[in-house]
């Protein structure tokens, strides 16, 4: 059994992986140690977790233009996330994702924060503007 | 996207491979947001330093530079991640210093002016009402859209360079009339007497509205604010909320009246900010136990008036032995402040002044924090107490004069 969720906008290749679910806005500069790929902001909902090879589920953004370069930098260091699923985003996240070749989506038809937990598997299909959530 | 003849030629490769790759990148981004066409720009402001772009980004700039591509519009650069000078306790890695110098060389090769500033709107270029630009720093973007009535989106990383190289940007977001109308109303019933108060207002409004396309309309501001006040408000709104525009009724150019700010539509929310809300922001910051702490005036870089004010406040005082005090500004303001004696007053007090950088983007900042054994970072910048947290500082927002007192007494009040 799997569940389908529609997204508003999407870009990049289809991809599947495990999710890391954030409960608050995200900035790679404010929240992430970009040397290790570990969320370092004190009190962040996934503090201490690595973003490496994860599909990040992020409700909103904070800041910031750092994402324009940061995702490519993470890719270069082999600690990049696999894809980005946003509730709301800003252009920098798209600019950064396009540069790094990351799949990125915005907007979801159901509240993913109440559906997903860390480690769940999701497939993103940008051409169909949808996510497929696999039950464990 | 519909392209004109020049854009088609760029896409075909007639203007070289870097121009082709730049416009291809812009089309991908523009298509995500449903842009139908490009809009020509008159100015670009690029963001790129070794701390954020890393070796991968450095390679991209090297390729651009080697291609001998030049920017099509006047272009400035954002703040750097290191101060080229003394201050051993704030030093960057020597290898990274050499890379940062390479970046500056590449910028020059592309005809970019390395202004190294995040306050270009105060010191370099002030676009006019309705003028389209492509700026790569959130504080510059929100100031351009809101205070100057110019039009720009956040242009991060390669996007800012691509715009400079092609002389255009995809027409979406704040380039379009439809995105520039107010979406919610903020009644201000509070005294805003310090830059930190404006930053606190930005936090109160921005934090619960993390939405790039939300546009607050401020009503009730009693006096016309200083440029620096609006700078701190904008930087804070952009930091906490990722907001790119605000209106201020009777003050900003697209909000001569409340009706004009909302373009005839009804706000989707009304909030009121009182003195008690501002006070609650200050009381919400708690100090942690720590023998050594740092007071920072940065984020955005300081204007000449801010430097003058701090020179007066620090005059004939000394920074306490358990404290470090740091100011950052750009080269232009530093030069003028040196000429005017402000730098001498500040340095006599023991204040460290960094040129062409912003504190929160310093290379190896986590290590610098550990080496200096800093626990608390105190600032009058609502932005920097938010942006610097990945480096695990305990941040505290305080008013300007209080920050100076804390720096000189070591008493964490």
- Domain range summary for chain B, segments of one domain joined by +: 5-172, 181-282, 290-409
Q: What is the pLDDT of residue A62?
A: 85
Q: What is the pLDDT of residue B344?
A: 98
Contact B32 A32 (CB under 8 A): no
Alpha carbons B23 and B13: distance in angstroms, whole number: 10
pLDDT tens string, chain B, 413 residues long: the values are: 999 999 999 999 999 999 999 999 999 999 999 999 999 999 999 999 999 999 999 999 999 999 999 999 999 999 999 999 878 889 999 999 999 999 999 999 999 999 999 999 999 999 999 999 999 999 999 999 999 999 999 999 999 999 999 999 999 999 999 999 999 999 999 999 999 999 999 999 999 999 999 999 999 998 999 999 999 999 999 999 999 999 999 999 999 999 999 999 999 999 999 999 999 999 999 999 999 999 999 999 999 999 999 999 999 999 999 999 999 999 999 999 999 999 999 999 999 999 999 999 999 999 999 999 999 999 999 999 999 888 889 999 999 999 999 999 999 99
Q: Is B251 helix (H, G, I), strand (E, B) or coil?
A: coil
Return the C-alpha torsion angle A44, A45, A50, A51, nearest 10.
Answer: -100
HEC profile for chain A? CEEEEEEEEEECCCEEEEEEECCCCECHHHHEECCCCEECCCCCCCCCCECCCCEEEECCECCCCCHHHHHHHHHHCCCCCCEEEECCCCHHHHHHHHHHCCEEEEEECCCHHHHCCCCCEEEEEHHHCEEEEECC
Cα A27 to the chain's mean position, in Å? 11
Alpha carbons B384 and B393: distance in angstroms, whole number: 11
Is A2-134 in CATH node 3.50.30.10? Answer: yes
Residue ranges in chain A whose pLDDT is less than 70: 136
Tokens coding A90: 């800003």
Question: Which pLDDT tens digit goes with each residue over B151-184?
Answer: 999 999 999 999 999 999 999 999 999 999 999 9
Exposed / middle / buried, residue B276 (Cβ in 10 Å: 0-12, 13-18, 19+): exposed
Query: Does the fold of domain B181-282 match that of domain B5-172?
Result: no
Q: What is the pLDDT of residue A29?
A: 85
Q: Which residues 146-175 of B are in CB contact (within 8 Å) with A?
A: 153-160, 172-173
Q: Of B274, B265, B343, which Cα lies nearest the Cα of B302? A: B343
Exposed / middle / buried, residue B184 (Cβ in 10 Å: 0-12, 13-18, 19+): middle
Q: What is the ipTM of this complex?
A: 0.95
Residue B23 contacts residue B37 (beta carbons within 8 Å): no
State which CATH number among 3.30.70, 3.10.450, 3.30.310, 3.40.50 fits the domain covering B181-282: 3.40.50
Q: B33 to chain A: nearest residue by CA?
A: A9
Contact of A108 with chain B, judged by CB distance below 8 Å, is answered with no
CATH class in words for B5-172? alpha beta
Domain B290-409 fold is Aconitase; domain 3 (3.30.499)
Alpha carbons B126 and A117: distance in angstroms, whole number: 47
Q: Which residues 39-58 of B are in CB contact (within 8 Å) with A?
A: 47-48, 52-57
Residues constituting chain A: 136
Residue B398 contacts residue B406 (beta carbons within 8 Å): yes
CA distance A65 to chain B (A): 5
Residues constituting chain B: 413
């Amino acid at each position: 059994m799997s569940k389908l969720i529609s997204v508003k906008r999407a870009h990049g290749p289809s991809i599947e992986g495990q999710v890391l679910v954030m409960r608050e806005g995200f900035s790679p500069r404010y929240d992430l140690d970009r040397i290790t790929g570990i969320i370092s902001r004190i009190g962040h909902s996934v503090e201490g977790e690595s973003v490496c090879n994860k599909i990040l589920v992020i409700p909103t953004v904070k800041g910031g233009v750092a994402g324009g370069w940061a995702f490519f930098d993470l890719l270069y260091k082999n600690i990049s996330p696999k894809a980005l699923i946003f509730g709301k985003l800003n252009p920098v996240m798209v600019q950064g994702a396009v540069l790094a070749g990351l799949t990125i989506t915005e907007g979801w038809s159901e509240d993913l924060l109440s559906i997903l937990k860390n480690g769940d598997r999701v497939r993103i299909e940008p051409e169909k503007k949808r996510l497929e959530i696999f039950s464990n | 996207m519909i392209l004109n003849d020049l854009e088609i030629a760029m896409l075909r490769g007639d203007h070289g491979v870097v121009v082709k790759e730049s416009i291809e990148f812009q089309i991908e981004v523009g298509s995500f947001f449903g842009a139908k066409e490009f809009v020509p720009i008159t100015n670009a402001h690029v963001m790129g330093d070794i701390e954020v772009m890393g070796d991968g980004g450095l390679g991209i700039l090297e390729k651009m530079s080697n291609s001998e591509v030049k920017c099509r519009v006047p272009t400035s650069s954002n703040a750097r991640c290191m101060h080229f000078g003394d201050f051993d306790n704030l030093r960057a890695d020597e290898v990274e210093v050499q890379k940062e110098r390479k970046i500056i060389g590449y910028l020059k090769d592309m005809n970019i002016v390395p202004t190294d500033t995040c306050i270009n709107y105060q010191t370099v270029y002030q676009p006019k009402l309705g003028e389209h630009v492509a700026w790569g720093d959130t504080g510059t973007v929100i100031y351009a859209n809101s205070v100057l009535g110019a039009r720009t989106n956040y242009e991060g990383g390669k996007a800012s360079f691509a715009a400079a190289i092609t002389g255009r940007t995809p027409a979406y977001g704040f380039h379009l009339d439809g995105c520039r109308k107010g979406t919610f109303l903020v009644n201000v019933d509070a005294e805003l007497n310090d830059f930190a108060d404006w930053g606190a207002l930005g936090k109160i409004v921005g934090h619960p509205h993390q939405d790039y396309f939300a546009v607050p309309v401020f009503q009730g501001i009693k006096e016309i604010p200083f440029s620096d006040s609006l700078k701190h408000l904008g930087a804070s709104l952009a930091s906490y909320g990722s907001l790119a525009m605000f209106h201020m009724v009777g003050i900003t150019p697209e909000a001569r009246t409340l009706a004009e700010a909302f373009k005839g539509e009804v706000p989707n929310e009304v909030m009121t900010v009182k003195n008690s809300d501002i006070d609650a922001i200050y009381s919400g910051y708690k100090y942690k136990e720590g023998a050594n702490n740092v007071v920072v005036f940065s984020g955005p870089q300081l204007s000449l008036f801010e430097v003058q004010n701090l020179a007066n406040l620090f005059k004939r005082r000394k920074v306490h032995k358990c404290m470090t005090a740091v100011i950052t500004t750009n080269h232009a303001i530093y030069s003028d402040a040196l000429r005017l004696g402000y730098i001498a007053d500040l340095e006599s007090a023991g204040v460290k002044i960094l040129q062409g950088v912003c504190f929160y983007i310093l290379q190896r900042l986590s290590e610098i924090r550990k080496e200096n054994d800093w626990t608390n970072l105190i600032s009058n910048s609502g932005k920097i107490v938010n942006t610097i947290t990945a480096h695990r500082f305990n941040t505290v927002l305080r008013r300007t004069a209080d920050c100076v007192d804390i720096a000189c007494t070591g008493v964490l009040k």
